[in-house]
Amino acid sequence: MSSVIATTAIRGRFLDIQNTVAQAREIHDQVRYVEDGLLITQNGKISWFGEWEAGQQHIPENTQIEHYPEQLIVPGFIDTHIHFPQTEMVGAYGEQLLEWLNTYTFPTEIQFADKNYADQIAHFFVQELLKNGTTTALVFCTVHPQSVDALFEAAERHQMRLIAGKVMMDRHAPEALTDTVESAYSDSKALIKKWHGKGRNLYAITPRFAPTSTPEQLERAGQLKTEYPNVYVHTHLSENKNEIAWVKELFPEQKGYLDVYHHYGLTGERSVFAHCVHLEEHEWDCMHDTDSAIAFCPTSNLFLGSGLFPLKKAWEKQVKVGLGTDIGAGTSFCQLQTINEAYKVQQLQADKLSAMESLYHATLGGAKALHLDDKLGNFNIGKEADFVVLNLKATALQQLRQQRAKNIEDALFALFTMGDDRNIQATYIYGQKAYEQI
């Protein structure tokens, strides 16, 4: 990994959320909109941010200024749940979760035993993240340790902050995709030693979901978490009604689905559970009490017919929520599209998701869900300099609509409703331009 010594100075319109909040209604007070702003980065971190007028004197000599007068610059998007090996199978027809896994997902994931294949898809995947303004993601690999190597190697080329891990899965899957109690433990341990904290990489212990791990394997996963308390735990929870019934059959001694993970020591401030569409009251309490986080994946929940995530309930219960694309059950890499669908999921429950709340979930709230809000999520001085330059007028229809935008919130809402990768003009990682639309 090359070390970054460059200084970058960016002038333009900046929008971010200054502080994490306990309630959605508090977000408005934390919105920071600087119409003519300046952001200076040094060695990958933000060294100065504020009004252009006040900041010019802080620009080191011989620094070239990149000016984006028309665009909107926001913190990099954070995707709290995505599967890199499922990139090629987006849009697989007709099934709900359990049949979808057997019919499409497992055959696709078998290919990642081949490191060359994993390298190719990992490269494509990282490019696709950048193209969509996503600068950090929490990522499922496959059961194969080499799939984790492939992904971290691809991310390192851009100094991208990724969290990822090897799937642990020792039952209810094809033999070519299963590990064992022991190999899951020792392979995960070797990967933690190799990757966790190397550059910006972080490791996540990744049991696929309770049905594909034996109790013995979950116990070893919990042991790993005890040995390495600073690594993450990443899995699925309460996505689909048949899945929940199956977990209850497989683990009759536990009170519910989340209790399985909790019993094995897999809940906590660095634990992220994808979906949580059908949690019971005691499970909400456990999520809160253990400070565990949810990845809300609207395009996936709609595509697989899983259900409607109750975002309002998560605020009530004070449970951290980030947004996830959940590629390839999700249908877009783009957080703009994900927000568009999140809004509709809330509408179907008679709730309103404001543009600023969506921005929060996609940036600082996502960082908080990943326990990284001290490093990511806004333009505070000292944070890592990951940000996105958005073109609000990428199509004729967007141009027409944006000309009539009443204010910045209305402009942002229109972008979230209609936007996609055409709106991502540039993506900066650690102060460096890692992608630019041509």
In the complex, the residues that contact ligand GUN under the rule CB under 6 A are 83, 97, 101, 105, 208-209, 236, 239, 300, 326, 329
Out of ligand GUN, Zn ion, none, what residue 79 binds, judged by CB under 5 to 8 A for its kind, is: none
Please identify, using beta-carbon distances, which residue of 169 and 231 lies nearer to ligand GUN: 169
Q: CB 201 → ligand GUN: shortest distance, Å?
A: 22
For residues 293 and 319, the answer to whether their CB atoms sit within 8 Å is yes
Out of ligand GUN, Zn ion, none, what residue 239 binds, judged by CB under 5 to 8 A for its kind, is: ligand GUN
Amino acid at 305: G
Q: CB 355 → ligand GUN: shortest distance, Å?
A: 27
Please identify, using beta-carbon distances, which residue of 111 and 402 lies nearer to ligand GUN: 111
What b/e readout covers 25-38, taking b as 16+ CB neighbours within 10 angstroms? Answer: eebeebbbebeebb
Rounded CA-CA distance 20/357 in Å is 11
Please identify, using beta-carbon distances, which residue of 83 and 158 lies nearer to ligand GUN: 83
Q: CB 80 → ligand GUN: shortest distance, Å?
A: 13
Please identify, using beta-carbon distances, which residue of 10 and 97 lies nearer to ligand GUN: 97
Please identify, using beta-carbon distances, which residue of 369 and 390 lies nearer to ligand GUN: 369
Rounded CA-CA distance 66/426 in Å is 11
Which residues have a Cβ under 8 Å from the Cβ of 406 and sit 6 or more positions away? none
Please identify, using beta-carbon distances, which residue of 278 and 383 lies nearer to ligand GUN: 278
Rounded CA-CA distance 110/101 in Å is 12
Host H or E run for residue 436: strand 432-436
Amino acid at 243: E
Rg for the chain (alpha carbons), in Å? Answer: 21
Host H or E run for residue 237: strand 232-237
Neighbours of 211 (CB within 10 A): 20
Out of Zn ion, ligand GUN, none, what residue 106 binds, judged by CB under 5 to 8 A for its kind, is: none
Which residue has the closest beta carbon to Zn ion? 326
Give the residues lining the site for Zn ion (CB under 5 A). 274, 326
Q: What is the largest CA-CA distance in the chain?
A: 67
Out of ligand GUN, Zn ion, none, what residue 101 binds, judged by CB under 5 to 8 A for its kind, is: ligand GUN
Rounded CA-CA distance 259/408 in Å is 43
Q: CB 139 → Zn ion: shortest distance, Å?
A: 10
Q: CB 83 → Zn ion: shortest distance, Å?
A: 6
3-state secondary structure (DSSP) of residue 190: helix
Out of Zn ion, ligand GUN, none, what residue 208 binds, judged by CB under 5 to 8 A for its kind, is: ligand GUN
Omega of the bond leading into 165 within 30 degrees of 0 (cis): no
Q: CB 208 → Zn ion: shortest distance, Å?
A: 9
For residues 117 and 111, the answer to whether their CB atoms sit within 8 Å is yes
Out of ligand GUN, Zn ion, none, what residue 105 binds, judged by CB under 5 to 8 A for its kind, is: ligand GUN
Please identify, using beta-carbon distances, which residue of 185 and 209 lies nearer to Zn ion: 209
Q: CB 139 → ligand GUN: shortest distance, Å?
A: 12
